[in-house]
Amino acid sequence: MTQSATLLADYLLTELSRPDGPAGPASGLPLNRRLYEALRRAIADGRLGAGERLPSSRALAHDLGLSRNTVVAALEQLGAEGYLSSRVGSGTYVQEHLQTPVAGGRRGPARNPSALPGLSVRGRRLATDAGAAELEIQPFTPGPADFSAFPLALWQRLQNRHWRAARPEMLDYTTSGGYGPLRRAVADYLRVSRSVRLLPEQVLITTGTQQSLELCARLLADAGETVWIEDPAYWGAVKAFTACDLRLYPTAVDRDGWAPPAADAPAPRLIYVTPSHQYPSGAVLTLLRRHALLQAARAANAWVLEDDYDSEFRFDAAPLASLAGLDEEGRVCYLGTFSKVLYPGIKLGYLVVPPPLVEAFRRAHYDLHRPGQLPLQAALAEFMELGHFATALRRARQTYAERRATLLRALQPLLANPGVHLSGAAQGLHLCLHLPSAVDDQALAATLARDGLSVRPLSAYCLQRRDWRGLLIGYGYAQPALIEPCARRLAAVVQQALPAP
């Protein structure tokens, strides 16, 4: 018996035995009429779709434990009423283009949509506020990395090896926070590259930054408490905090990164920052500001969420110590992702929490998300242990440095205009072209999109401030041969949009 035939038989048996149902024993109908009613409802509510083939009368009688005559009588009545059609040598099918809505039908449209409960206030905000744009395969899309050079054959061999050798426990959920060797590899990497002092036990392997943010928001703050968030802000953080009913307090960003708010700002429970390459402006938080931020967190007894989403890519300057590396008190949670060096669809990231939080986060991670993917995590651990991650990162840095240099040369003439300057070019996979406040950057971005250039307007990321205009220009996804001609086209369109001197 096919799966669909089994599901149909199960549904019909349930309807025929339902005490208070229209096809149940209490209906007082003959058995063939009860079966007719159960099949008619299955068609009307979409369980049997238009054009779907039914089991033969003999098979259906066997599955239901009924006589064939009973089944044939029910099918013939449905055929007479236009629900079914027979095809010689092929079988019996639900009639095409059939519209027979039944009150309470499972798939039919609601008769009175206004009477439905609708979304919550939080749900409406999540559905309507600015969020992720669909990924366009176009030059200058900010965010995605180019994974065309990723060693797929090597990666496939590693995955195959771990799948072939997978023990039963590797196919189950994990309660440990992730695959042990991968947690150790991440800890070793962060100690060297970001000066983070940690033990492997402090590392949780997550599905990425969004899950890490959600865990932090749910476990470290209660509904209605305040989170200081950069302005302009990363949309994913805005969504995560909104979903947890936290109160957002935008804190301004300038060319030195996060700026301390006024003394009368509400005390935060969380402080969320992207200090290494502020998203979206690209500003790097100065060492002085980093210490000021940690002091502000100490004064408010707040947790700091450090999102280090693309710190692997540095071009012009030595990296500053991470907040987690500067933290002396254990109040910084450090978030990272593998999507920039490997590929976005890997859906693996990591969250480093202070030692007192480890057990609570590990349990919540399991209870809320049932983490797994252990063979994938094992392949990544070996990929890092054997040095392939370092090799991929080294090659990616060289590739992106060349693309960045080409883009900067092409944009240079624009910088002679008053009010036009760049930020964020020293690190990461995008830069920000700042424009005079009189420019409508959203209309400008739409114009460029029609020309096949996918940039993002800076003002779309602003929460309260209205003084910043500009364009986010990514070069991670741009093909080298296209960068210069596309940048010239972009510069020409921007030049026309600038106010007259």
Is the pLDDT at 288 greater than 90? The verdict is yes
Is the pLDDT at 108 greater than 50? The verdict is no
Q: For the chain, what percent of residues have pLDDT higher than 90?
A: 62
Q: For the chain, what percent of residues have pLDDT higher than 70?
A: 93
Is the pLDDT at 435 greater than 80? The verdict is yes
Instruction: Please state, in angstroms and rounded to a whole number, the distance separating the CA atoms of residues 432 and 42.
Output: 56
Average pLDDT over residues 310-338: 91
pLDDT (0 to 100) of residue 213: 98
39 SS3 class = helix
Average pLDDT over residues 414-420: 95
Is the pLDDT at 115 greater than 90? The verdict is no
Whether 278 and 234 have beta carbons less than 8 Å apart is answered as no
**Any idea what the Cα angle at residue 311 is, between residues 305 and 314, rounded to 5°?**
150
Please compute, for residue 58, the number of CA atoms within 13 A of its CA located in the half-sphere on the CB side. Answer: 1
Mention every residue, 6+ apart, whose C-beta is less than 8 A from residue 351.
203, 204, 206, 212, 215, 216, 333, 334, 335, 336, 361
User: How do strand 247-254 and strand 430-435 relate by DSSP bridges?
Assistant: unpaired
**Residue that the structure tokens 């771990």 belong to:** 162
Region of poorest pLDDT, from 27-31, 322-326, 485-489:
27-31
Domain positions in the chain are 3-94, 150-391, 395-497
Is the pLDDT at 378 greater than 90? The verdict is yes
Q: What is the pLDDT of residues 41-72, one digit of tens each?
A: 888 888 888 888 899 999 999 989 899 999 99
Is the pLDDT at 445 greater than 60? The verdict is yes
pLDDT (0 to 100) of residue 181: 95
**427 or 246, greater pLDDT:** 246
Q: What is the pLDDT of residues 80-104, one digit of tens each?
A: 878 888 877 788 989 876 654 443 3
pLDDT (0 to 100) of residue 226: 98
pLDDT (0 to 100) of residue 134: 54
Where are any strands of DSSP class E within 235-353?
247-254, 257-258, 270-273, 303-307, 332-337, 349-352
Longest dimension (CA), the chain: 90
Q: What is the pLDDT of residues 156-210, one digit of tens each?
A: 999 999 888 878 878 877 778 999 999 999 999 999 999 999 999 999 999 999 9
pLDDT (0 to 100) of residue 160: 92
Q: Which CATH number applies to 3-94? A: 1.10.10.10
Please compute, for residue 422, the number of CA atoms within 13 A of its CA located in the half-sphere on the CB side. Answer: 19
pLDDT (0 to 100) of residue 129: 64
Instruction: Please state, in angstroms and rounded to a whole number, the distance separating the CA atoms of residues 9 and 107.
Output: 19
pLDDT (0 to 100) of residue 130: 61
pLDDT (0 to 100) of residue 46: 80
With 0-12 CB in 10 A as exposed, 13-18 as middle and 19+ as buried, what is 117?
exposed
Q: What is the pLDDT of residues 126-155, one digit of tens each?
A: 776 666 555 556 789 888 888 877 888 999
Whether 277 and 404 have beta carbons less than 8 Å apart is answered as no
Class of domain 150-391: alpha beta
Of 52, 44, 36, residue with least CA distance to 85? 52
Task: Specify which of 98-107, 121-130, 467-476 reaches the highest per-range mean pLDDT.
Answer: 467-476
199 SS3 class = coil
Residue 107 — pLDDT band, cuts 50, 70, 90? very low
Q: What is the pLDDT of residues 241-277, one digit of tens each?
A: 999 999 999 999 999 999 999 999 999 999 999 999 9
pLDDT (0 to 100) of residue 8: 86
Residue 469 — pLDDT band, cuts 50, 70, 90? very high
Q: What is the pLDDT of residues 204-230, one digit of tens each?
A: 999 999 999 999 999 999 999 999 999
pLDDT (0 to 100) of residue 154: 93
Cβ of 329: how many Cβ atoms within 10 Å? 10
pLDDT (0 to 100) of residue 106: 37
Region of poorest pLDDT, from 12-21, 268-277, 492-501:
12-21
Residue 440 — pLDDT band, cuts 50, 70, 90? very high
φ/ψ of 150, rounded to 5, equals: -65, 135
pLDDT (0 to 100) of residue 102: 40
User: How do strand 303-307 and strand 332-337 relate by DSSP bridges?
Assistant: parallel
Average pLDDT over residues 310-337: 91
pTM of the shown model: 0.76
Instruction: Please state, in angstroms and rounded to a whole number, the distance separating the CA atoms of residues 327 and 295.
Output: 10
Instruction: Please state, in angstroms and rounded to a whole number, the distance separating the CA atoms of residues 229 and 208.
Output: 19
pLDDT (0 to 100) of residue 298: 98
**Which CATH superfamily is 395-497 part of?**
Aspartate Aminotransferase, domain 1 (3.90.1150.10)
Of 484, 497, 428, 398, residue with least CA distance to 457? 497
pLDDT (0 to 100) of residue 304: 98
Average pLDDT over residues 326-339: 96
Average pLDDT over residues 375-382: 94
What are the tokens at 64? 């239901």
